[in-house]
Amino acid sequence: MYAIARQRILGQSFQKMRPAVSVLRSYSSAAKQITVRDALNSALDEEMSADPKVFLMGEEVGEYQGAYKITKGLLEKYGPERVLDTPITEAGFTGIGVGAAYYGLKPVVEFMTFNFSMQAIDHIINSAAKSNYMSAGQISVPIVFRGPNGAAAGVGAQHSQCYASWYASCPGLKVLSPYNSEDARGLLKAAIRDPDPVVFLENELLYGESFPVSDEVLDSSFCIPIGKAKIEREGKDVTITAFSKMVGYALKAAEILEKDGIYAEVINLRSIRPLDRSTINTSVRKTNRLVTVEEGFPQHGVGAEICASVVEESFAYLDAPVERIAGADVPMPYAANLERMAVPQIEDIVRAAKRACYRSVPLAAAA
C-alpha cells in the first residue's frame, strides 16, 4: 500500500503536467465541460440524495475525500452513516456490502484499485453474481463495485492489471467501463439503479480529463442503458472497438487514418457484459474489417471474445482477419519506456488498421 500513497502524490503532479484533452464533438447544445471525476462525483451525489438506501463504502472514501477524490464532499453532505471509511479488509467489507444488498440496501463499494478486488473476488463472484441464480430469483443483489482499473503511470505490475475480461466472463455480473464524462455519469447512475451486481471499471488517468457535456447529461435523471455500445465516430472502411482510455486513442488514430483516406468507425463499448454484439456486428457488416483494442492481457481478453462473436455471426462479411490490439503479454514493467511498449499506443492502432486494410506490410515489429 505504500506504492499507492506514493503514486497518489506522483499521480496528481502527473495530471498537472498532462494537458487536459478535450475531444471535439458536434453537439448542438454543447459548451459545458466537466471532468470525469466531477461527473462521477455528481452522479454519486444525485443518487445518494434520491434514494436513502444508497450508501458508500470503501477505504478513504470519507475523511480523505476519496483516494482519487471521487467521493469528495459526500461525507460532509451525508454523514458517516452513509459514507463509511472501512478498515483495510477487502474480503470483509465486500462481503458486508453483499449482505446489505441481500436486504435491499444499495451499497456502492469502492476498491482503491481493482487490483485489490482480487482479495474480495470470492464475494463478487460467489456471493454477489451467483446469488440470484442459486436462490432462484429470491435474493437479488443491487450492489455496485467501482474503482480505477487498468494501467496508470509507472505504478508497477501489481497495480496495473485490467480486470475487464475476468469479470466479464462471469454470468450474473454486469460489467461497465465508461470513457468520457457523459459515459461516467450515465453509466454510474444506471449501475446504482440496477437491481443486479455491477462492476464499474473506471480509469485513473481519465479522472482529470474534461469532456463537453450537454444539458441533458447534467439532468439528474440522466441514465445510459446498460448493454448498448456507442458509435463515437462513423466510418466506412474499418471498425475499431475500444473501451475506457483506449477509446480516446482510437479516436486519435481515426483522425490520423483519415489523412490517409481510411475512414474508421470507432465503437465505444461502454458495456463489456452484456456485450453489444449487435452493434459490433452491424458495424462489421458495413465496413468488413475489424480492429479490437484493449489495454489488458491479450489471452482470453475482451478482443478475443469480440473476434469470436464476429466470426460466429458475420464471417462471410469479413474481408480481412480480425486484428487484436492488447497490452503486452507480460506483467506491467516499471521503466517508463518499457511501460510505453507494454500498453497499446496510437501508432499500434493505426498500424493495425492499415494492416486490416491491406495498406502495409503485415506484423511490423514493435519499435
Partner 1 sequence: MATAFSAAKFSTQPFHLNPTSTTSHDSPLVFANPTSQFLGSTRKLHLTSSSKFNLTRRSGTVVAVSDVVKQKKSKSAPTLLITKEEGLELYEDMILGRAFEDMCAQMYYRGKMFGFVHLYNGQEAVSTGFIKLLKQQDSVVSTYRDHVHALSKGVPARAVMSELFGKTTGCCRGQGGSMHMFSREHNVLGGFAFIGEGIPVATGAAFTSKYKREVLKEADCDHVTLAFFGDGTCNNGQFFECLNMAALWKLPIVFVVENNLWAIGMSHLRATSDPQIYKKGPAFGMPGIHVDGMDVLKVREVAKEAIGRARRGEGPTLVECETYRFRGHSLADPDELRDPAEKAHYAARDPITALKKYLIENSLASEAELKAIDKKIDEVVEDAVEFADESPVPARSQLLENVFADPKGFGIGPDGRYRCEDPKFTEGTAHV
Q: Which residue ranges make up the site for partner 1 (CB under 8 A)?
A: 52-53, 55, 81-82, 86-87, 89, 91-105, 122-123, 126-127, 131-140, 142, 171-172, 174, 186, 190, 193-196, 216-217, 219, 221-228, 230, 271, 274
Minimum gap (Å) between residue 308 Cβ and partner 1: 20
By the 8 A CB rule, do 156 and 211 touch?
Answer: no
DSSP at 271: E
Cβ contact 90:54 at 8 Å? no
Shortest approach of partner 1 to residue 77 CB, angstroms? 14
Closest separation in Å from C-beta 164 to partner 1: 16
Give the residue with the Cβ less far from partner 1, 194 or 295: 194
Query: At closest approach, how far in Å is the CB of 89 from partner 1?
Result: 4
Catalytic residue among 46, 59, 60, 90: 90
Residue 68 or 116 having the CB closest to partner 1: 116
**In the bound complex, what is the minimum distance in angstroms from residue 97's beta carbon to partner 1?**
6
Strands 54-58 and 83-85: parallel
Q: Which is nearer to partner 1, 140 or 158 (CB)?
A: 140
Contact assessment for residue 71 and residue 44, using Cβ atoms and an 8 Å cutoff: yes
Query: For partner 1, which is the closer residue by CB, 190 or 343?
Result: 190
- Which sign does the torsion angle of CA 181, 250, 269, 344 carry? negative
Location of C-alpha cell 489495454: 295
Establish whether 63 is a catalytic residue: no
Q: Looking at 159, 182, 204, 209, which residue is catalytic?
A: 159
Rounded-to-integer distance, Cα 251 and Cα 211, Å = 14
Of 57 and 349, which has the nearer Cβ to partner 1? 57
Catalytic site residue 159?
A: yes
Enter the C-alpha cell of residue 108: 456502492
Grid coordinates of 337? 519506456
The DSSP call for residue 123 is I
Distance of alpha carbon 122 from its chain centroid, rounded?
21
List the beta bridge partners of residue 330.
Answer: none
Unique residue bearing C-alpha cell 453489444: 276
Query: What amino acid positions are annotated as catalytic residues?
Result: 90, 159
